Amino acid sequence: MDLVEVAPNANPPVCKLIDFKKFKYQEDKKLKAGKKGKKQYLKEIRFTPFIASNDFEVRVNRAKEFLTEGHKIRLTVKFVGRQITRKQFGFELLTRAFEQLKNVAKMEVEPKFQGKLLMMVITPIKQTNKRGENAQAENKKISSKKI
List pLDDT tens digits, range 52-89: 999 999 999 999 999 998 899 999 999 999 999 999 99
Quote the pLDDT of residue 99.
94
List helix spans (H) across the chain: 20-35, 53-69, 87-101, 135-144
Enumerate the CATH 3.30.110.10 domain ranges in the chain, comma separated: 42-124
Report the C-alpha gap between 107 and 98 in whole angstroms. Answer: 8
> Does residue 81 come out as left (phi exceeding 0), alpha (psi in the -120 to 50 range) or beta?
left
Quote the pLDDT of residue 56.
95
Pick the CATH number of 42-124 from 3.40.50.300, 3.30.530.20, 3.40.50.720, 3.30.110.10: 3.30.110.10
Question: E strand or H helix at 5, and its extent?
Answer: strand 2-7
Surface-to-core class of residue 12, CB atoms within 10 Å of its CB (0-12 exposed, 13-18 middle, 19+ buried):
exposed
